[in-house]
Structure 1
Amino acid sequence: MTEEFKIKTATVGDVPVILQFIKELAEYERMSDDVVATDALLTKNLFGKNSYAEVIIGYYRDEPVGFALFFHNFSTFLAKPGIYLEDLYVQPQLRGKGFGKILLNYITELARKRDCGRVEWSVLDWNEPSIQFYKKLGAKPMDEWTVYRLEENLL
């Protein structure tokens, strides 16, 4: 089955699929009301003059079934770039088939090729299936850190 799964780097023509996956992920995370992303905003910020993130899309039997959106950060302690995985999503009906692991492995291999010091991401505390998935892969929670955020209206 995984031999029928392919990954491609997203292009501007994939923006509607990316937005669809963002909305599906937001629904799963019980955050649909927080989504203000549009095709125009994604086009501008992913594929415009300044692209701020990268996207890969997973295809199963030539149909898009998942994606990962990521960008570089920097560790002063390591003096190296890292990759921050903002979103990793596989449609619910296709979970458990190894596609999420393939997408994450793609990101970690990319990090190695780019000489990054680490790959990081956040997971909601209640999302036990994802937490178990990440732990099974050897990822470690960074429990001693708390995420803080300034929203756009405070910038």
Structure 2
Amino acid sequence: MDLILWRHAEAEDLVHGMDDLARRLTPKGRKQANKMGTWLDSMLPEGCRILVSPSTRTIETVQALGRKYKIMDELAPEAKPEHILAVANWPESRDPVLIVGHQPGLGQAASLIIQPFQPQCAIRKGSVWWISQKQHAAEGLKTYLKTIVAPDLLPR
């Protein structure tokens, strides 16, 4: 199974009285999302399920990918890492899953998989962490971090 965690791109700061779910991407965030969306579109396998938080900033981020996605309330900003992994059906899913969400939940979910003794990994805004599991004849099921990509490392 492949689990791809994509943190939303840079968004407006939360100001007093503002609904956190309504925060939009900044111009820089739109550029980050476009760069990462282009890269992901070329890399994601066919049949990848795309699951997105209901926040405006995650929806604007995933729209840069140009693929169908499903909004999941369980992926809202306060999502617990166990819920994120359950929505992805980790590690039982046969299909790859892309989750577009928030810190600290995404980082905590990554930590549960790849580094269980650290409370969370820091996933930068707009970045992707791609985690894979492969069955090896001699070694059994192995989990590894396939790649980490930040939007500022991608070509314009």
| TM more than 0.5 | no
Pick 1 or 2: higher relative contact order, CA cutoff 8 A, min separation 6: 2
Structure with the bigger percentage of helix? 1
Q: Give the alignment's TM-score, normalised by structure 1.
A: 0.30
- Report the structure number with the largest CA radius of gyration: 1
